[in-house]
Structure 1
């Protein structure tokens, strides 16, 4: 073969290989530029590429999730749409059924459904303006929230927020699905008002809870006190029972100790008695041995001494008997003398009483006269005292004032004597005159008698009849 021809062939082959490589590179670059792959939270939307839906209808919009596809930029347009959840916060103003305006703050999680049909719906509406999803969802949520709040009171709103959230979510779910959107969750974060209505409800509730807490605290303290009292009572009962058991045990121990001490003392006494008995027996044995060793002469001496002692004891007994007899006789004589003295004293007293009675019976008149004379002086003094308050006396008759007063006193005494005689039958005038006469006779018969023998007679007045001066 011609070397030049062979060399030209190799050159052609090399050119062809290089051209093929270049073509392959160009193809790879084109494929890499046209091939689109969606991320895990994205969906690939290809406009201009036909795709059948689940119902069998054909659509010019193809949706690819979790994969990729070639997109011809000449005849097709590819867009990525996010499937991530969007957090939408809102705080609309709504009016409750009881006319209170409240501010309800909530948060919602909204996303485009992963199903190609949902992606296709969302792409038709929000592909070129992704932010419109948040705006649309916020408007839908606020509208549904106002509608639901208008049917409830503030108390109902505050009482069950979850129910409110569920009602709002249920109200807009169909509207969101029509746009290819899914409401993952919706929560009411807070309800406030500018007029203090909710604060007032809260204050009332707080006050109620505080009262209940106070009542619960008081009941708890009462229960603790009751339990403490019950515990103290049980402790006291147990302590009392323990003290009783301790006292009983102590008494039992003391009784046992006393019995033990008594038994020990008895045993000691028994031992001492045994020792003494043994010593006595030993002493007796020793004495018996000594007696046997003593001579018979000593026995005679002892017998004589015993006889002498017996004689002395007999004599002493006789002497004591005689002394006792003499003491008995003296006692009898003393008692008899005392009895005689008592009897004689009684007799003397009786005789004295009898003599006094007899003297009274014989000298009754004289005694009455003596008593009358003893009462006469105080009586005259009383009559005289009646004239003490008299300042002056004018006497129209011829006699003097002293004579007149004496006459008045004599008249008063005479009236007194007449009253005594009328009441008792005793004429005091005769008694006094007889007493005075008897004393005068007695004085005449006994001239040598001392002047003090009859002081009453010398002092006795002599009464004249009134008018004699």
Structure 2
């Protein structure tokens, strides 16, 4: 019994492994940026595109019978084709146009079917086909435009080119994400000469603007210098005024001591003078009362006595008596 169980278990395990291997061999999954193109026995779908004889699978998986069916992958991501076209304008001027086309396989089943039928086994040739397609249309459109049109209105050129190539792009199953005209060159120098008058005008305008800026800068510098000089002058005047006030205050301060001493001495002199005057008056009064008045009295007395004596000795005055 244990031996039979091991045999049964081993057989089941082998069967599971075989199923897994068979599933991996049969099952194919389409990546987000690709479509599975399945051809062979029974490879039919329900859509109009699938009725062409192959099956298209996008965004999911499907079973592919080995030996009876083949699954191939078609890239759906963006591609870039560089353009370099030599052509002649309406004026007969040869130009070289450089640009780039960003394109991809359309997302609908009809576009995928058209691209698969043309490019499935040679997807690297898409860029060459796009280059030839847009080269022809650019030559045709540029032949009806002037150089001025090419330079001033590139959107018109790209728009007309995309519209002209639209039908053929649909037949190829491709769509244009972007068409950009990057450069337009000419060997005759027409474009260079065409821009010279405008360049000269711009240069003249630039020189005038620069001269005006220089003049404005010079005037501003002169005004700034004048303001600086005026500010310096005002500062010097204020400093001189402040210095004069300081000098005056310092002079007053220096003179304050001597003036105080002189005032004090003057007051002393005044007081001493007053004291001397009072002493002189007092001495005068003393002299008057002690010397002059007695002297005057004595002199008066002497004079009176002398007069009396003289009167006595006068002749007439004696005879009469």
TM-score, length-scaled by structure 1:
0.51
Structure 2 counterparts to residues 129-278 of structure 1, below 5 A: 129-235=122-228, 271-278=264-271
Cα deviation 1:130-169 (Å, max 9, x = unaligned): 1332122112221232233233322332234455334433
3-state SS of 2:77 partner: coil
Structure of higher CA gyration radius:
1
Aligned to 1:30: 22
Distance 2:85 2:4 in 1: 78
- The reply to whether residue 52 of structure 1 matches residue 40 of structure 2 is no
Aligned residues of 1:90 and 1:138 also touching (Cα < 8 A): yes
Instruction: Give the CA deviation at 1:298.
Output: 6.7
Task: State which of 108, 117, 120 in structure 1 corresponds to 2:113.
Answer: 120
Point out where structure 1 has 5 or more consecutive residues left out of the alignment: 1-8, 304-469
Mark the CA change 1:247 to 1:71 in structure 2 (over 3 Å): closer, same or farther: same
Distance 2:144 2:256 in 1: 103
Instruction: Give the CA deviation at 1:29.
Output: 2.3
- The reply to whether residue 99 of structure 1 matches residue 125 of structure 2 is no
After superposition, the CA RMSD in angstroms is: 4.3
Instruction: Give the CA deviation at 1:79.
Output: 1.0
Mark the CA change 1:163 to 1:272 in structure 2 (over 3 Å): closer, same or farther: farther
Bigger mean CA deviation after superposition, 240-249 or 118-127: 240-249
User: Comparing both chains, which one has the higher relative contact order based on Cα–Cα distances under 8 Å and sequence gaps of 6 or more?
Assistant: 2
| Bigger proportion of residues as strand | 2
Mark the CA change 1:143 to 1:264 in structure 2 (over 3 Å): closer, same or farther: farther
3-state SS of 1:92 partner: strand
Cα deviation 1:324-362 (Å, max 9, x = unaligned): xxxxxxxxxxxxxxxxxxxxxxxxxxxxxxxxxxxxxxx
Distance 2:274 2:285 in 1: 16
Instruction: Give the CA deviation at 1:93.
Output: 0.6
Aligned residues: 294
Mark the CA change 1:296 to 1:27 in structure 2 (over 3 Å): closer, same or farther: closer
Distance 1:19 1:134 in 2: 54
Instruction: Give the CA deviation at 1:296.
Output: 7.2
Aligned residues of 1:71 and 1:78 also touching (Cα < 8 A): yes
Distance 2:241 2:106 in 1: 91
Aligned residues of 1:107 and 1:186 also touching (Cα < 8 A): yes
Distance 1:92 1:251 in 2: 89
Distance 1:233 1:162 in 2: 56
Instruction: Give the CA deviation at 1:88.
Output: 0.7
3-state SS of 2:45 partner: strand
Distance 1:283 1:61 in 2: 154
Aligned residues of 1:64 and 1:116 also touching (Cα < 8 A): no
3-state SS of 2:144 partner: coil
Distance 2:56 2:225 in 1: 83
Aligned to 2:33: 41
Instruction: Give the CA deviation at 1:183.
Output: 1.4
Aligned residues of 1:51 and 1:59 also touching (Cα < 8 A): no
3-state SS of 1:50 partner: coil
Distance 1:82 1:89 in 2: 19
Cα deviation 1:395-435 (Å, max 9, x = unaligned): xxxxxxxxxxxxxxxxxxxxxxxxxxxxxxxxxxxxxxxxx
Mark the CA change 1:20 to 1:295 in structure 2 (over 3 Å): closer, same or farther: closer
Point out where structure 2 has 5 or more consecutive residues left out of the alignment: 297-321
Aligned residues of 1:107 and 1:188 also touching (Cα < 8 A): yes
Distance 1:96 1:56 in 2: 42
Distance 1:235 1:18 in 2: 105
Instruction: Give the CA deviation at 1:46.
Output: 1.4
